[in-house]
Amino acid sequence: MRVLHVWNTAGVASVIAKYQARILKWETWVVSRLGHDPFSLTYYGEALKTSSLGFFSKVIWISRGYDLVHVHSLDKMVPLIKTLYPAKPVILHYHGSEIRDKWEKRKKYWLKADVIMVSTRDLLEGAPQHVIYLPNPVDTEFFRPMPHLRRTNTALYIYDPLNPILSRDLKWAREAANRYNLCLIIHNRRKNPVKHKDMPIFINKFEYLIDRKSVNSLSKTALEALACGLKVIRWDGKIVTGLPEDHRPEYVIKRLYKIYNSVT
């Protein structure tokens, strides 16, 4: 099976493609756009230095050589691929704000997909009944505990001034840190970006990670922190530990294999 992943929201495509190649021995690749990958999340695949129009043209050209195209978030790509390659299965995978509360607005794009998936359960609200929830996978080979780096009673909150959810929840992070008597470090990822390859070392320096409050699901960063052995304070104030089994890449690839089989 040859699978092309288009776009790389939160690095999910790179994780899936890497483990599809490793576990299933498939030929997989990821294409994203360099200007939209400031944290170098495309560690498996390539981030193309091109314009928006150039990227769409490149994807259409590359798609011809793949058995299946798995589009992440960039739903405008779906009708174009299906028009040019009507027999080619196209999976559309939503990951967050691009579809949250926008199902009707984006209908002209998702309607053309052979399968629609979401990466968190909250995105199922307002979705058509046939939409499938696929848990976000974490690259457990990459994100692993480094206890020698850990500083006790410290908490990390990753702040992004361009992300309305993370900005809105800044007050919540301070309240949560005070509640558990933790030394809070607020990291502005736009002002001081941490490349993806450096994230495991960065995260492992803390005992806790405070996740967003406005969304009732664990963020991918929170899942990565759990894989590193941190305690995570989630949206309801509860502390969780340990990466859930359904977020391990082996589980996700097995689930996705069955989904692909339904359209190929």
Mean of the pLDDT values across residues 146-175?
93
pLDDT surpassing 90 at residue 163: no
User: In terms of domains, do 181 and 164 share one?
Assistant: yes
Reported as a single tens digit per residue, the pLDDT across 21-35 is 999 999 999 999 999
User: In terms of domains, do 53 and 178 share one?
Assistant: no
- Taking the CB of residue 161, how many other CB atoms lie within 10 A of it? 12
pTM of the shown model: 0.95
- Predicted confidence band of residue 162 (pLDDT cuts 50, 70, 90): confident
Reported as a single tens digit per residue, the pLDDT across 207-231 is 999 999 999 999 999 999 999 999 9
Task: Give the least confident one: 11-15, 25-29, 95-99, 161-165.
Answer: 161-165
Mean of the pLDDT values across residues 10-27?
98
Query: What is the side-by-side order of every strand in the sheet holding 68-72?
Result: 46-48, 27-33, 2-6, 68-72, 90-94, 115-118, 132-133
SS3 call for 161: coil
User: In terms of domains, do 34 and 86 share one?
Assistant: yes
CATH number (domain holding residue 23): 3.40.50.2000
Mean of the pLDDT values across residues 84-113?
97
Q: How many domains does the chain have?
A: 2
As separate numbers, helices (DSSP H) first and strands (DSSP E) second, the chain gives 9, 12
What is the C-alpha to C-alpha distance for residues 139 and 148, in angstroms, rounded to an integer? 21
Q: Which has the closest alpha carbon to 158: 223, 211, 237?
A: 211
Q: What type of residue sits at position 240? A: V
User: In terms of domains, do 129 and 204 share one?
Assistant: no
Residue 142 resides in a domain: no
Range of 219's domain? 147-244
User: In terms of domains, do 19 and 117 share one?
Assistant: yes
Q: Which has the closest alpha carbon to 70: 23, 17, 107, 21?
A: 17
Which two three-digit tokens encode residue 154?
A: 């410290």
Distances (CA, A) of 209 to 10, 56, 73, 84, 231: 17, 37, 26, 45, 6
Residue 86 resides in a domain: yes
User: In terms of domains, do 46 and 126 share one?
Assistant: yes
User: In terms of domains, do 155 and 124 share one?
Assistant: no
Q: What is the pLDDT of residue 166?
A: 82
Reported as a single tens digit per residue, the pLDDT across 39-56 is 999 999 999 999 999 999
